[in-house]
Chain A
Amino acid sequence: MIPSSFEYVAPTSVEEAVKALVAGDGDAKVISGGQSLLPMMKLRLASPGTLVDINGIAGLDTLEEADGMLRIGALVRHGDLERSALIAERYPIILDAAQHIADPLIRNRGTFCGSVAHGDPAGDWATVAATLDAQLHAVGPKGAVTHSARDFQTSMFETQLGTDQILVEARIPCPKPGQGSAYLKIERKVGDYAAAAVGVMVVLAGDTITEASIGLTNVGPLTIHASAAAASLIGKSIGDAAALEEAGRLAMEASDPASDLRGPADYKKDLVRVLTKRALRKAGARAQGQEA
C-alpha cells in the first residue's frame, strides 16, 4: 500500500497550476481531496509522475447562487454541500447525494468537482451534475472552456477535460418554481460505491410534469442521462403509477450494468426500475411541498 514515487507541487494560482500540468506533459494529475486518486496510487493502479495540489489556491471554494446559477468551486467538499443551508433549502438531490457519498471522513476531504473530473461512472456527483444539466468550467493553457455535464465523460475514467486543464467550477441552474429532485442510492455498506443509484429532477405544473431529467450511477461504463425515460414523463401526472412504471422501465433499458460483487446485471437493472419510480415519487412530493 505504498505508491510509486512522484513529484509534488503546490501552486497558489490556477495559472501556476496549469503551468505545472503543462510541464507534466500528460503525466501530471490534479489533486484536490485525493479520495479516489490516492487509493488508486496506493494500489498502483495509477502512477502519475507529478501531483499538482490545488488546495492552496484561493477562491476555489465558492458555494453560492449568482446570476441564476449555483456555483460550486473546485475545492467545495462533499461535507460542505452536506452542511450547507442553501443546499438543504433549494437542492434536495444534492443533499441526498452528499449524505450517501462514502463516509463522513471522506466527505470532509473529497470534492464535487474532483469527483466529476475523475470520470468514474460510479461517481454520484457526475450523475447529479448530468441530472441538473450542469456546466463544467475548466481552465487550460489556452484559457477557459465550458463542457456540458451530460456528455462530459467519454469512457471509463476519461472525460473531455484535457490533461493540461483544471475543472475550476461547476454551475447548476437554480431551481424553477414547481421543481423537485431526489437521489436514491443502494450501496452494500456505508462507503461503498452504488450498486445502482438514480437521480431525478421534475418540474410540475399542478400534478402535471412539464420537465424531467433522470441520471443513473454505476450501471454502465458511463454516467447515464436517461433522456428517453425522462421524455416519456412530459405531460403525465406525477400520480400516474403506470407512467412512473414506464419511466422506470425505460430507465432500466438505458442502463447497461456489468455483473460484479455488487450483484448480477439483472439485479442492478431492476434496481434502476425500482429506484426511478421511488425517486420520481419523492421528487414529486418535494415539488409539491409535501416532503423535505
Chain B
Amino acid sequence: MSSNLATESTVAGAIGQSPKRIEDDRFIRGKGNYVDDVQLPGMLFMAIYRSPFAHATINSIDCSRALAMPGVLACITGKDLEAHKLAWMPTLAGDTQAVLATDKVRFQGQEVVAIIAKSQAQAVDAIEGIDVDYDPLPVVVDPKRALEADAPVIRSDLEGKTDNHIFTWESGDADATDRAFRDADIVISLDTLYPRIHPAPMETCGCVSDYNKATGKMTVHLTSQAPHAHRTLFALVAGLPEHKIRIISPDVGGGFGNKVPIYPGYVVATAASLLIGKPVKWIESRSENLISTGFARDYHMSGELAATKDGKMLGLRANVLADHGAFNAQAAPTKWPAGFFNIATGSYDLPAAYCKVEGVYTNKAPGGVAYRCSFRVTEAAYLIERLVDNLAHKTGIDAAELRKLNFIQPEQFPYRSPMGWEYDSGDYDKAMDIALELVEYKALRKEQAEKRERGEVMGIGFSSFTEIVGAGMSKICDIAGLAMIDSAELRIHPTGKGVLKLGVQSQGQGHETTFAQIVASELGIPSTDIVVEHGDTDHTPYGLGTYASRSTPTGGAATAIVARKLREKGRQIAAHMLECAPDDLEFDSGTFSVKGSPDRTKTIQECIFKAYQPELPEGMENGFEDVTYYDAPEMTYPFGTYICVVDVDKGTGEVKVRKFVAVDDCGTRINPMIVDGQIHGGLTQGFGTAMMELISFDEDGNCFGSNFMDYLIPTAVESPHWTLGECTTPSPHHPIGAKGIGESPTVGSPQAFVNAVVDALTPFGITNIDMPLSSHKVWKALRDAGVSDD
C-alpha cells in the first residue's frame, strides 16, 4: 500500500480491500434508474428526423404530413430555433454546431427536424412524414482532400471561411529534433491511421427535460458524464439562469467519453419543454448514437523515430492530420486543440521531439471525444509504441531489450519530457520484468523460432505505455473557462454514518464503493457506513465530471482531503475529551489514543457524536462536515507493459490472440477487484479497437456503421483471456498516491495487438497494417508478400 497514506487502516472496506460493489445490488436486480426509466406525468416524446445526405443545401422543409399523423403535436425546425437564437450552439472546442440544420446539412445523420408527440412510437412513426427538399453538394470524406484548394467549403456558415482548415498546433523543439535526425544512424518511418471508432456505451444518449412554468425551474434528467459543467453550459447556451437549472444524471450506462459533449437533442428537448411547458423525453436509438454522436480518434499520423544503430533513441517527429468532422466538437481542455498528443514520447528518455497536428473539417459526424482516453494520449501512445517495435525489427534488437535501453529510469523522476510534461513517478523496468515473467517470454521466443522453421506464423507484441491522466491543473486546463478542479463534501451524522457528495459522476466505475473506501481509510469508519451521492447538481458540490481517468486523481484527492479535515476536527474533540494536547494523540483505524497510554482512547464515532453535543472545545462549531475543492498540482502518469501473443492463419488471415499479459501501475489501488474489472473492460475495448471496430464511409459520405451488425464490438465470446500483473509506484503528489486506471488499458493495448501481428509477419517484410486488423487485411498483406496458404 502507498506510503503516502496517513493511515494504513484495518477498518472494514479500507483502501486495498476488495469489498463487492455497493451499486451492483440494484444493477443486477434490475433496479437501476436510467434516463429512460424516468416517467413524469404528462410527459411528451421527441424523435429526430436526420439528414440522408452528407452535404446538401436545404431548400425547404415540409412537416405537414407529419403534423397530420396520430399523436403528433409539433415539429420543430432550425428556423423555429433561430427565433430563440438556439439554431446554433457552442461546442466544447470553441466552435459552433448546428442544433437543427438551417442552411444546409453537413453530415449524414445530422439533426434537421424534431418531432414532439404523445408517445415515442408516434414520434418515431412521424419521421416518415417529414419532407425536405435538398440540393446535394459535393462531399468531402477524405481529410487530405479537405485541405485541397478546390475542396468544397463545408463551413460556409463561418464568416470569411474559404477552406476546411480548423487549427494547426505544434509542440516541442523542431530545430533540436531536426538535429537529432541528422545525427541518427537509423530513422524509422510509419504512416498510419488510427481509425474513426465509437465509444458505443451500452446506454445511448438521452434526456428528459422538465420545465416548471410556475417556479421557472428547468430540471434535466441527462445521461451526463459532467452534470455540473453541463448545467453551466446550459446556462450559457440557453440563457437560462443557472440557479434555476438542475441537472440530474441518474445511473449512467457507460460513457467512455460519449457523454461529455452537449448534443443537439438535449438542446431541442429542453427548448421544447420550455415552450410547451411539459416534460419532453428524448432517447436516442442505437443507430442515432452510432452515426451522430461523438466519435473518437480518426488521426492520420506520420511518425518518425531517430536512433543510433545500437538502438538508442534520439528523437521523435510526428505530423498528424486530425479529422474532426463537420463541426469541431472535440472534447478536450479548451487550450488543447490536439489534447495531450505531445505525451507522444511515452516511456522513453528521448532527447528531442516535435509534433504538429492539423485539424480539418469533413462531411462526417462531429466529435473527437476522448474515448476512454485523456485527450489524444491513445493516439500518441499508439504511434510511439508502433515505432519502437518497428525499430526493434529494423535493428534486430529484442523488443523488450530495446525498450529497457531507452526507458526513463526511476531516479529521473520527476521527469521533464521534451515536449514539456512533468512525469510524477515510474518504474518502467519493473513493470516490464513482471510482464516478461508472466508471459514466459524466453520460451515464447524459442517457440516462435521453431514455428517459423515449420512455416507457422506467430507473433509477440509489446506496449510499454505511459499515460497522462487526472486533468487537472487549472493553471493549464480549463473547459469553457471553468478550472478543471473537482470536489467532495463529507457530512457525518451524529451516529457516525454519513454522506459523501461528489462533483464527479460514475458511469459504471464503482464510485459508490471506492470513494467510500477512501473515507474508510482516512476517517476510520467502515465503508458501508458512507453513502456516496453524485449526479444531482442541486445536491452535490461543483465539479468537472468523470472522463480522462480524472475521478480518483481529482475527486479522490478531494475526498481524502475532506476526510482528513474531519479527522483533524475529530482529533481536537478527542483531545478535549481526553484532556490532552491534540499532538499527543495517535490515530489508527478509527481510534485516537494518547501516546504512551494506549488505554486512554476515543473512537472516531465518539468524537462525531460529541460534535453534535454541547461543550465542544473553545471556538469550535457543532456538526461534522466539510467540503474540499481540489486543484491537482500536476497530472498523474500511470504506466504499464502489455504483451500480446498471436497466431495467424495463413489461409484465412485470421488472428487468434493466444495470450495477453497486462501489468499495470496505477499507483495505490483503492479496490483491487474494481481495478482488475476496469482493466478487463478496457483491454476488451482495446481488443475491439485493434481487431474490428471502424466507422467507415463511402465516397458520398454514407456511414457504414449504424448498428452492431456493421459496427463490430467484441463480446465475451471472442475476447481473449486476460492475464493481469501488478506493480505499484505511488504518485508522490496525490494524497493517497493513486494515479487513475480507467483508460490505461484502452490507451495501452491496441498497439500490443498490432505489434504482435506485425511481429508475426516481419519475416515476410510486412511492417504495418492499420487497425482494425480484419482478417481480410491480414490476408491481403500475406498474399501481397507472396505467402500462400499452405
Contacts and interface: CB of A to CB of B under 8 A. Distances in A.
Given A103-B715, A103-B717, A195 B286 contact: no
B707 A188 contact: no
A4 B122 CA distance: 10
Interface in B108-139: 120-121, 124-125
B718 A189 contact: yes
A270 B783 contact: yes
B167 interface: no
Contact of A263 (B707, B712, B775): B775
Nearest to B789: A274
A1 B779 CA distance: 35
Given A1-B287, A195-B775, A262-B776, A43 B707 contact: yes
Nearest to A259: B776
B709 interface: yes
A37 to B, nearest CB: 14
A270 B775 CA distance: 12
B714 A189 contact: yes
A39 B707 CA distance: 10
B692 interface: yes
A195 B649 CA distance: 15
Interface in A233-292: 261-264, 267, 270-271, 273-275, 278
Contacts of B714: 189
B60 interface: no
A191 interface: yes
A1 B287 CA distance: 8
A1 B715 contact: no
Most buried by A among B696, B704, B714, B774: B774
A189 B712 contact: yes
A192 B692 CA distance: 12
A275 B779 CA distance: 14
B124 A267 contact: no
A66 interface: no
Contact of A186 (B125, B654, B709, B717): B654
B704 A2 contact: no
Contacts of B120: 2
Given A186-B652, A261-B710, A2 B121 contact: yes
Contacts of B710: 261
A43 B718 CA distance: 26
Nearest to B650: A274
A261 B704 contact: yes
B125 A5 contact: yes
B651 interface: yes
A190 interface: yes
Contact of A188 (B121, B125, B286, B775): B775
A182 B623 CA distance: 75
Interface in B478-533: none
Contacts of A43: 287, 707
B781 to A, nearest CB: 11
Nearest to A271: B652
A189 B775 contact: no
Contacts of A264: 776, 780
Interface string A75-105: 0000000000000000000000000000110
Contacts of B712: 188-189, 192
Nearest to B776: A263
A40 to B, nearest CB: 11
Nearest to A190: B717
Interface in A175-200: 186, 188-193, 195
A274 B787 CA distance: 13
A263 B696 CA distance: 13
Interface residues of A, number: 27
A193 B789 CA distance: 23
B59 interface: no
Nearest to B783: A270
Most buried by A among B125, B692, B779: B779
Nearest to A104: B717
A193 B779 CA distance: 19
Nearest to B772: A188
Given A1-B287, A267-B780, A192 B709 contact: yes
Interface string A203-214: 000000000000
Most buried by B among A103, A263, A273: A263
B124 A2 contact: yes
A8 B623 CA distance: 63
B296 to A, nearest CB: 19
A35 B774 CA distance: 26
A72 to B, nearest CB: 25
A39 B125 CA distance: 17
B772 to A, nearest CB: 9
Given A1-B285, A4-B125, A191 B715 contact: yes
B704 A274 contact: no
A186 B715 contact: no
Contacts of A192: 709, 712
B363 to A, nearest CB: 20
B24 to A, nearest CB: 22
B603 to A, nearest CB: 52
B784 to A, nearest CB: 11
A189 B125 contact: no
A39 B710 CA distance: 13
Contacts of A278: 651
Contacts of A271: 652
A271 B654 CA distance: 11
Nearest to A184: B652
Closest 7 CB pairs of A and B: A263-B776, A274-B651, A190-B717, A267-B776, A1-B285, A2-B124, A190-B718
25 contacts: A1-B285, A1-B286, A2-B120, A2-B121, A2-B125, A4-B125, A5-B121, A5-B125, A39-B709, A43-B707, A189-B692, A189-B712, A189-B718, A190-B718, A192-B709, A195-B775, A195-B776, A261-B696, A261-B704, A264-B776, A267-B653, A267-B775, A270-B789, A274-B651, A274-B652
Given A270-B779, A274-B651, 17 more contacts: A2-B120, A2-B121, A2-B125, A39-B709, A186-B775, A188-B692, A189-B692, A189-B712, A190-B715, A192-B709, A193-B709, A262-B776, A267-B775, A267-B780, A271-B652, A274-B652, A275-B652
